[in-house]
Chains A and B, each alone.
Chain A
Amino acid sequence: MIHWIISCLIYAKAASSCLSVRRPAIWLNVFPHFSSFRAKSKYALNCSGRSSELNKIGLTMCGFLLVLLPFPVFATVLKSDTTWSGTVFITDDILVSEGVTLTIEPGTKIRVIPAESTKTDPEYVSSLTEITVRGSLIANGEKASPVEFLVEGEKRSAWAGIIVDGGKAVLDSTIISDAETGVYVLRGSLVMSGSLLKQNRYGITVQGHEAVARVTTTRVEDNDYGVFLLNGAKIESTENIIKENRKKDRFTSAAKDYHLQEREYSAGPENRGKSRVYADEAMLGMTVWQGRIQVNGIIRVPENSRLIILPGTVIEFSRKDTNKDGIGENGLLVQGSIIAKGTKENPIIFRSSEKQGKMGDWDSINILNSDKGQNLIEYCQIEDAYRGLHFHFSNVAVADSVLRNNYRGMQFQESVVEIRGTWFYRNKSAFQARDSEIIFSDNVIYHNYAGMNIFRNSITLRGTSIVNNYLEGMRVREGLPIVDRNFIDGNRHGVMVSDAFYGEYTDNVISHNLESGMSLKGTESVEISGNVIQGNGINGMNIQDSSGAIQGNLITDNAERGIGVLSFQGVITGNNVLRNGLYNLGIDGATDVSARMNWWGGGDVRATIYDKEKDPSKGRADYLPMLDKPIAFTWPLNRLSADTKWYGDVVIKETISVDPGVNLVISPKSRVLFSEGAGIAAKGKILARGEKDAGISFTSFQGQGPDLWQEILLDHATGSEFLNCLFENATWALHIHFTDITIENCTFRNNGGGLRFTSGPIEIRHSLFEKNGIGIRAFRGTALITGNVLTGNGTGIFVREKGSGLTITKNNLFANSEYNVRLGDFNDEDVHAIKNWWGTLIPADTIYDARREPGIGTVLYEPFEQQPFSIEFSPDTSMGQVRQSGERGVTGK
C-alpha cells in the first residue's frame, strides 16, 4: 500500500509539472482497471504544457487510485532499487538504469497495456512498450507462483518485451507472452530457467558478441519464431523444449562484418588548455568560438544571434544530471544560427568533458526555429551526447562529419536538411526524421542498433552505405522517398517500407541482411527496380497488402524465398530471380500474384514456386510466359563492399572496385559485359569458376574489337581464380599485381593485351592466347606458363624486366606476327623456355633476345619440341570458343 500512496503522490507531482525539456515526458504510468479510463489516463500522462487540466485530472486520478485501484504505479526510469509484487500494470517504457536492480517477487503479474503510439525516445530500442535493462532485472518466480508478463486484453506482439542492453536479466519461472520478442539480449547477459515463452513473435533473440545467455529447463513454444542467435551471440542451452513455433524453432545467422575504417577526427595538440568556460548563458549578437571551450550549462543562442565555431575548436560538455535519469542536460540551444565549419585538417569536436566520456553525458546541439538561412555543421565530430544533432523547423547542412557514441546520432522534424559525406556509428539509433525535406547522400551508417527511421519525408537518399546495424537498416513510412544507389548490407532487416503511396527504390544493393532484405507493407505506387537483393538470411523480399511494380531486379541466393508474398496486387516482371533457398517465389496468402516474364534461372521452374499448386489455400502464381534467358542486368554500384554473386548477363558501365576481403563469385554461363572504359579493380577475390561446357565470358557491351573496355586489375587479390573463361575486346584483359593466382582453361582473344603481371606467383595453364597485341606480358614476375597455345598475336610473350623468374614450358608458341617471345630493353636476365613447340625448327628466328640485342638476356629454349603438343580446348558456344578440330596446334574436343 505504501507503494500506492507514494506513487500517487509522485503522480500528482508529475501531473502538475508534466513538461520535460528533453522528453515530453511520461513520468510514470498509471493504469486504470477499467478500460473506459484508459483514454483519460493517456490524456493525462501524455499532454505536456497543460498543467491546469493536468492538475485536475491528476488529482482526480489520484482519488480514483486511492479508492479503487489496487495496483502499483511505476516511474519510466527506475533510478533506485525497486521491487515489484502483486499485479503491476505498465503502459509505457520502463528503463532499469545502470546500477539499479528491479526485483520481481514470486507470483507477480506484469500486465502490459500496449501504447499504440509509444514513440522511440533515443534511450529505448523499440517503438512498442518495452522493459529495457541496463542494470539488473531479477524475476524470482517459483514453479507454483511464476512471474508473468502478458498483454492486457490485446493482441500478440503488442509490446516489445524485455530488452537487455548492457545489463543482466535473471529470470526464474517466468512466463512471457504477447511480445515482439520475449527476451532480446543485445548486450549483456540472460540467465533463464524454468520459464515459458509463448505467443510472442520471437521467443528469445540474442545478438552480437557482447550478448550471452544461459537458458535451462525452459519452454519456447507457440511463438512465430523460437530462439534466434544473431551475429555470433553465445547461448548455453540445456534441457529446454523449443518446439512448435510456427515459422522456425531455431535460427542462427551472422552478417559478415566488413570492418569499415571508421572515420574519426581528433583534436589538434594546440587545444590543451581551456579558452573559455561557460555556465548557463545566452549569447547575444555574434559569438566566435575557437580553441577549447568548456560548457557547464545550457548555452542559448537567441533569435537573430549567431554562433560561429572556427576550425580546430574543441567544445566539451560537463555531465550534469539533476533528475538522475542517466542523461546529461548541458548542451546548445540555437534559436539564431550556428556555423560550425571545420576543415579536414582542423575538425571541430563536440564531446564530453568527463574523463571517461560515455553516451548521454550531454544533451544535444538543439537548433529550433532557425529556418531563415542555412545552419552549417561541417567537419565536426559529435560524440557522447543524448542526441548529437536535434532540430525542429530549421534549415541545416551537415557535411563530412561524424556522429558517434550518441544515444541518437541525429533527429529532426519539419526541417530542410542536406546531409552528405557523414558517418554515423556506434549510436543506439543513427538517424530519425519526419516531415522534412532531405537530401541524404554519400553517408555511412554503420554499427548502430538502429539505422535510419524516416517518416513522412520528402527524401532523396543516395550513395549511402547502411551496414551492420543490429536492427533495421532503414525504416520508411509514408512520404516521398527516392532511394537509389545505396548499399544496405548485414543489418538485421534491410529496408522496411510501410504505408507509402509513393516511392522509388532503384539500383540499390540490399544484401546479407540477417532476416529480410526488403519488406513492403501497405504500399501502393511504389517502384522497385534495378536492385540487387541477394543473400539475405530469410527472404529477399516480403510483401504484404501492397501494389506497385517490381521489375528489372536481381534476386538471388536468399536463404528461403526470393520473393515472399502475403498479398500483392502489383506486377513482378522482367526480373532475374534464381537460386533462392526454398523458393524463388512463395505465396502465403490467398490472392493470385502476377509474375510473368521473369527469368527463374532455368531448370524445373515449377519446383521453385510455392503457390496454389502445392497448397490449395494459397493464391496462384501467374508466372507464364517466362523468360528463357536472363535479362541483362546493369550492376548498380561501382564498388563491391560485400560478397557478391553474379549470374547471367551483367553489364558494367563504370569501373567497379572490389574491396579487400570481399569475394566476387561469377557463376558459370555468366557474361560480364563492359561498357567503353569500364573494368574491374579488385583488391578482394574474384572467383570465376566456369565449367567446361558452361564458361564465363568477359567481353564488350558494344561489340567486337580490341580496346573496347579497360581491364580486370587484380591487386593483392590472392585466392582469385579464373577457370574456363573467355576474355575479349579489352585493353588488357587481366592485369595482375602481387597476386598468387592460377589461370586455367581460359581464352584471351582480340585484346590489346591478354594478360600482364607483376610479381606473382602465377600459373597460366592450358589457355589460349590469340589475336592479341601481346599475349602475355611479364614484369619482374614469377610464373609458370605451361600447356598453353599462343598464336596469332603480335607478340606471344613479352618480358619487360627481370625474366629469370619465368618458367615457360610445354606450350605451343607459334605464328605470332612479330615474335613468339620478346625480351625488353631493361631485361638483363635469361628466361627459361625449354620444351616448347615454336612452329619452326629454328626457334631463334621467332625470338627477340640477346641474339638480336646484346645485353638484354637470352631465351633458353633448348631443348625444344619438334611437333606441337596436342592441346585441346572445350567448345563452349556461350563463349564463342568453338574451334575446328585438327587446326594446327589447337584442337577442339
Chain B
Amino acid sequence: MNRDFLCAPVRYSFFALLLIAVVHVIFPGVSALYAEDKAVIKGKVADVEGKAVEGAMVFVYASPEVRRSADFISAPTGRDGLFRLSVLPGKYWVVARLKKADGFGPLMPGDKHSGEPKEIEALPGGEVDMQIIVTDLKEAVIMHAKEREGPARLRGRIIDDQGAPVTGVYAIANRNEKLSGIPNYVSAWVDKDGRYTLFIPRGTYYIGSAIIFPPGNDFVIDKKVTVDTGNTDMDILRRIGDGR
C-alpha cells in the first residue's frame, strides 16, 4: 500500500478545495477569464541517445486516461525534434508517439512511445518546456536499467580451449589472486551452454572458475579484469585439464 499517498492529502485538501469551489460558484467568470490566456507546451522529442526524433507527435490529455482521443495534438516534429502547441491553461498529461506509418491509429511493433504520461501544469500565458524521450520496449528496458546504477553484471560462458562450453562449474570473482576460503563472489552453476551471470561491485577482480563448492584450492583464475561498466560480456577460459 502506498502509505505516502494515503497520508499526503489530509493536511491541505479540504479547505483548499472548499475555497476553490466557493470562488467558482460565486464568481463563475473567473475561470472563463483565466481560460482566455492560453498556455504553450513546447520542447523536443528525442531518442534514448538524446538525438532529435523526426515525425513524432505529442498528444496532450486533460486527464490521466490517455488511451482515448487526445485533447490537443502537435504537428509532427521536424528534423530538430521540436514541437510547440497552444493549450488552454490547466493540468495536462502528455505523451509522444512515433509511428512509422503515416497517420493516426494504434502503435505497431517497432513504433515508439514515451511511456507513462508526464503530468504538467500549464499556467495562463506561461510556457512549459519539456524533453520527451520515445522508445520501443527494448530501448525502454535498457534505459530503465541504466537508471539503476547498481553493481556491474558480468555474463558469458565458461569455455574450454576448444571454445566448447564447460558444464558442472561456476564463475568466481575474487579481489586477490590467491584465494583463501570462499571467493568474494560466486555465480550459480552454469547452464548446459556454460552460461553464467555474476553481479559484482565495480572494481578489479581475478576472474575464474571452480568445480566444487567451497572451492578450497581447486579453482582456476583466468584473468584479471577491471569492471567499471554496467554490463560486461566476458567468456571465462577453463582449459581442458585445469583444476581437477
A residues near B, CB below 8 A? Answer: 24, 36, 39-40, 42-43, 46-48, 50, 117-119, 286, 288, 306, 308, 310-311, 339, 341, 343, 371-374, 376, 378-379, 395, 397, 399-400, 416, 418, 420-421, 437, 439, 458, 478, 480, 482, 501-504, 522-525, 527, 529, 545-549, 569-571
State whether B187 touches A397 (Cβ < 8 A): yes
Q: Is B197 part of the contact surface with A, judged by Cβ < 8 Å? A: yes
With most chain A CB atoms within 10 A of its CB, the pick from B2, B9, B137, B140 is: B137
CB distance from B210 to the nearest CB of A (A): 11
State whether A39 touches B9 (Cβ < 8 A): yes
State whether A547 touches B1 (Cβ < 8 A): no
Cβ–Cβ < 8 Å partners of B150 in chain A: 371, 395, 416
State whether A118 touches B151 (Cβ < 8 A): no
CB distance from B196 to the nearest CB of A (A): 10
Q: Is B199 part of the contact surface with A, judged by Cβ < 8 Å? A: yes
Q: Which of B3-41 contact A (CB under 8 A)?
A: 3, 5-7, 9-10, 14
Q: Is B178 part of the contact surface with A, judged by Cβ < 8 Å? A: no
Other than the known A501-B113, A547-B106, what 19 A-B pairs have Cβ atoms closer than 8 Å?
A24-B3, A39-B10, A43-B6, A47-B7, A117-B5, A373-B184, A373-B185, A374-B185, A374-B199, A395-B199, A397-B188, A397-B199, A416-B199, A418-B197, A437-B148, A458-B141, A480-B137, A502-B113, A527-B137
Query: Could you pull out 12 A-B pairs where Cβ atoms are within 8 angstroms?
Result: A36-B14, A39-B6, A43-B10, A46-B1, A117-B1, A308-B182, A310-B214, A397-B199, A416-B148, A504-B137, A522-B67, A569-B106
Q: Mark B187-201, 1 if CB is under 8 A from A, else 0.
A: 111010000011111
State whether B151 touches A46 (Cβ < 8 A): no
Cβ–Cβ < 8 Å partners of B151 in chain A: 371-374, 395, 416
B residues near A, CB below 8 A? Answer: 1-3, 5-7, 9-10, 14, 66-67, 105-109, 111, 113, 115-116, 137-138, 140-141, 144-145, 148, 150-151, 170, 181-182, 184-189, 191, 197-201, 213-214
CB distance from A361 to the nearest CB of B (A): 26
Cβ–Cβ < 8 Å partners of A371 in chain B: 150-151
CB distance from A677 to the nearest CB of B (A): 18
State whether A547 touches B6 (Cβ < 8 A): no
State whether A378 touches B189 (Cβ < 8 A): yes
Given A480-B141, A547-B67, A46:B148 Cβ within 8 A: no
Given A48-B3, A117-B6, A501:B213 Cβ within 8 A: no
Cβ–Cβ < 8 Å partners of B137 in chain A: 480, 482, 502-504, 525, 527
Cβ–Cβ < 8 Å partners of A570 in chain B: 106
Cβ–Cβ < 8 Å partners of A416 in chain B: 148, 150-151, 199
With most chain B CB atoms within 10 A of its CB, the pick from A118, A502, A569 is: A502
Complex CA gap A117/B6 in Å reads: 9
State whether A374 touches B187 (Cβ < 8 A): yes
CB distance from B41 to the nearest CB of A (A): 20
State whether B144 touches A437 (Cβ < 8 A): yes
CB distance from B192 to the nearest CB of A (A): 11
Complex CA gap A47/B141 in Å reads: 33
Complex CA gap A504/B139 in Å reads: 13
Complex CA gap A225/B106 in Å reads: 33
State whether A502 touches B148 (Cβ < 8 A): no
Question: What residue in chain A is nearest B201 (Cβ atoms)?
Answer: A372
Cβ–Cβ < 8 Å partners of A545 in chain B: 67
State whether B106 touches A549 (Cβ < 8 A): yes
Complex CA gap A343/B186 in Å reads: 14
Complex CA gap A395/B181 in Å reads: 22
CB distance from B136 to the nearest CB of A (A): 8
Complex CA gap A418/B181 in Å reads: 26
Given A46-B3, A549-B108, A571-B106, A374:B10 Cβ within 8 A: no
Complex CA gap A600/B131 in Å reads: 45
Cβ–Cβ < 8 Å partners of B109 in chain A: 504, 527, 529, 549
Cβ–Cβ < 8 Å partners of B111 in chain A: 525
Given A378-B189, A571-B106, A339:B67 Cβ within 8 A: no
Q: Which listed residue (B2, B10, B140, B199) contacts A117, Cβ 8 A?
A: B2
Cβ–Cβ < 8 Å partners of A310 in chain B: 213-214
Cβ–Cβ < 8 Å partners of A373 in chain B: 151, 184-185, 199-201
State whether B198 touches A374 (Cβ < 8 A): yes
Q: Which listed residue (B5, B184, B189, B199) contacts A399, Cβ 8 A?
A: B189
State whether A43 touches B182 (Cβ < 8 A): no
Q: Which listed residue (A395, A502, A546) contacts B67, Cβ 8 A?
A: A546
Complex CA gap A311/B200 in Å reads: 23
State whether B213 touches A311 (Cβ < 8 A): yes
Question: What residue in chain B is nearest A570 (Cβ atoms)?
Answer: B106
CB distance from A50 to the nearest CB of B (A): 8
Question: What residue in chain B is nearest A545 (Cβ atoms)?
Answer: B67
Complex CA gap A524/B111 in Å reads: 12
Complex CA gap A396/B227 in Å reads: 19
Cβ–Cβ < 8 Å partners of B188 in chain A: 341, 376, 378, 397, 399-400, 420
Complex CA gap A308/B185 in Å reads: 11
CB distance from A532 to the nearest CB of B (A): 19
Cβ–Cβ < 8 Å partners of A372 in chain B: 151, 201
Q: Which listed residue (A119, A437, A480) contacts B1, Cβ 8 A?
A: A119
CB distance from A334 to the nearest CB of B (A): 15
Cβ–Cβ < 8 Å partners of B181 in chain A: 286
Cβ–Cβ < 8 Å partners of A437 in chain B: 144-145, 148
CB distance from A278 to the nearest CB of B (A): 20
State whether A501 touches B1 (Cβ < 8 A): no
Q: Which listed residue (B107, B182, B191) contacts A524, Cβ 8 A?
A: B107
State whether B141 touches A46 (Cβ < 8 A): no
State whether B113 touches A525 (Cβ < 8 A): yes
CB distance from A30 to the nearest CB of B (A): 14
Complex CA gap A548/B97 in Å reads: 13
Complex CA gap A411/B182 in Å reads: 28
State whether B213 touches A43 (Cβ < 8 A): no
Complex CA gap A47/B11 in Å reads: 14
Complex CA gap A734/B178 in Å reads: 58
With most chain B CB atoms within 10 A of its CB, the pick from A43, A522, A525, A549 is: A525
Cβ–Cβ < 8 Å partners of B67 in chain A: 522-524, 545-547, 569
Question: What residue in chain B is nearest A371 (Cβ atoms)?
Answer: B150
Cβ–Cβ < 8 Å partners of B145 in chain A: 437, 458
With most chain B CB atoms within 10 A of its CB, the pick from A119, A373, A439 is: A373
